[in-house]
Structure 1
Amino acid sequence: MPSPRILIVTAVAAERDAVLSGLERGGVSSGVEVLASGVGPAAAAAGTATALTSAALGGAPFGVAVSAGIAGGFGQPLGGAVVATSIVAADLGAVTSGPDGDGPEGFASVEELGFGKAEHRPPPDLVRAAAEAAQAARGPVLTVSTVTGTHARARELTARHPGAAAEAMEGFGVAEAAAAHGVPVLELRTVSNAVGPRDRAAWRIPEALEALGAGCAAVLPVLRAWGA
């Protein structure tokens, strides 16, 4: 049986180019399409759905979709890799309030509101094998539309999502599109900064991009074997 074609979706061209460079250095670029969909879950969902539909109509469907890119980490080392055990829409929902309409009481996810899913769980055996191959941590990766910029927001997110490993902006969009097409999904992130106040001087974007290429190259044999 031939190996499945693999779709890797990044947000921006710098991430796409880092992935392509890593795959070429690792000699594992055949049968892989790398797409820069744009920033945020809506752009990621639209780009992923378009690519999956086009491939299926062309008679060469993708067997796996991967959301890949750099991210903020919750207690993760800069340059380290994370594979998502769950892909969570962390800010899709409603803020709840007391009877007088003041003093927010908390957050209700879109799933708690009864309007759909708030989480996708990649196949556990695939997550385990990919994390081992990439020497990556495992944990929930939160998809947000607004990047965290304060300690208070970081604490709020980790209180709602214990064990969260990283925060990014596209994973849930990729997962929604993949689920609609019946395609398994994986999310791989490398850490460029700590989630919290935006201290750009402390960011390590070049190192995270280098790690992203290496991580994607490391998981490609796992993806091929898993989907075969």
Structure 2
Amino acid sequence: MTGLLVVTAVAAEAEAVRVGLTGVDATVVPVGVGPAVAAAATARLLALAEAAGRPYAGVVSAGVAGGFAHRVPVGGTVLATRSVAADLGAESPEGFIPVDELGMTPEQLGVASAVEADPALLAALRAALPDAVVGAVLTVSTVTGTATSTRALAARHPDAVAEAMEGYGVAVAAAQAGLPFVELRTVSNPIGPRDRGSWRLREALTALGPAATALARVPTG
């Protein structure tokens, strides 16, 4: 196996990542927004590569994210220890129940609410990006947009540093293919009340290129 598959949501993220990948054996593909399209497209790309006799050695979900303001600054880089399906589960009078706490076995569910980052890939990126903030990155289908929901999300996931919309989907596809996975993001805005004036998307995309240079440290052979 050789090379990395780097999956982003949109073309602007893919272009930003490519800036930092000069000389790196990697394929960067924008697949669309949200966990469903990210999972389906990643699975297809992995299957096509395997069928062609050129399977990938690892999978990376990369792009911009919202960051928990008290945990990571806007413009900062985050590395996921695990990618979490933060809104996969059920509501109850006592609050949200994650899917793997609904009383069914993992075999019955066929899925867990989080996929752990590959230890070797994560260690390589941490060594190359010593200033990165490390913690869980939440995957949501609906971006958090109120102070109340932000507090609830932070309380449910005390190790979370950021949220985005694709990581868990990409992670599941990688896990199904038996490939190592890691998630790398730069922070464009604080999680909370939706205020486009506080977003720094251009700065986050600019930061994504230098962050992506760390992928040169990831073993791909």
When normalised by structure 2's length, the TM-score is 0.92
Most deviating of 53-62 and 120-129: 120-129
Contact 2:6 2:28 in 1 (8 A): yes
Structure 1 residue aligned with 2:192: 196
Which whole-Å CA distance do the structure 1 matches of 2:149 and 2:101 have between them? Answer: 20
C-alpha displacement at 1:109, in angstroms?
Answer: 1.2
C-alpha displacement at 1:112, in angstroms?
Answer: 1.4
| Amino acid aligned to 2:140 | V
Which whole-Å CA distance do the structure 2 matches of 1:4 and 1:212 have between them? Answer: 23
How do 1:44-123 and structure 2 match up within 5 A? 44-75=38-69, 76-96=72-92, 104-113=93-102, 114=104, 115=109, 116-123=111-118
Contact 1:131 1:137 in 2 (8 A): no
| Amino acid aligned to 2:151 | R
1:6 is aligned, of 4, 17, 22, to 4
Contact 2:60 2:181 in 1 (8 A): yes
**Which structure is larger by alpha-carbon Rg, 1 or 2?**
1
Contact 1:65 1:183 in 2 (8 A): yes
| RMSD, matched Cα | 1.3
What is the percent sequence identity of the aligned residues? 53
| Amino acid aligned to 1:112 | E
Contact 1:28 1:220 in 2 (8 A): no
Q: Per-residue displacement from partner, 1:104-151 (whole Å, max 9, x unpaired)? A: 211111111232210011123432330231231100000000000011
Which whole-Å CA distance do the structure 1 matches of 2:50 and 2:2 have between them? Answer: 12
Which whole-Å CA distance do the structure 2 matches of 1:128 and 1:82 have between them? Answer: 13
Which whole-Å CA distance do the structure 1 matches of 2:7 and 2:126 have between them? Answer: 18
Structure 2 residue aligned with 1:127: 122
When normalised by structure 1's length, the TM-score is 0.89
| Amino acid aligned to 2:142 | T
Structure 1 residue aligned with 2:216: 221
Contact 2:121 2:181 in 1 (8 A): no
Q: Per-residue displacement from partner, 1:71-122 (whole Å, max 9, x unpaired)? A: 00013111110000011000011001xxxxxxx2111111112322100111
1:207 aligns with 2:203: yes
Structure 1 residue aligned with 2:182: 186
How do 1:162-173 and structure 2 match up within 5 A? 162-173=158-169
Structure 1 residue aligned with 2:30: 36
Number of residue pairs the alignment of both structures matches: 212
Which whole-Å CA distance do the structure 1 matches of 2:122 and 2:3 have between them? Answer: 18
1:174 aligns with 2:170: yes
Contact 1:190 1:211 in 2 (8 A): yes
1:153 aligns with 2:149: yes
- In structure 1, runs of 5+ residues without a counterpart are 97-103
- Helix, strand or coil: the match of 2:23? coil
Contact 1:82 1:131 in 2 (8 A): no
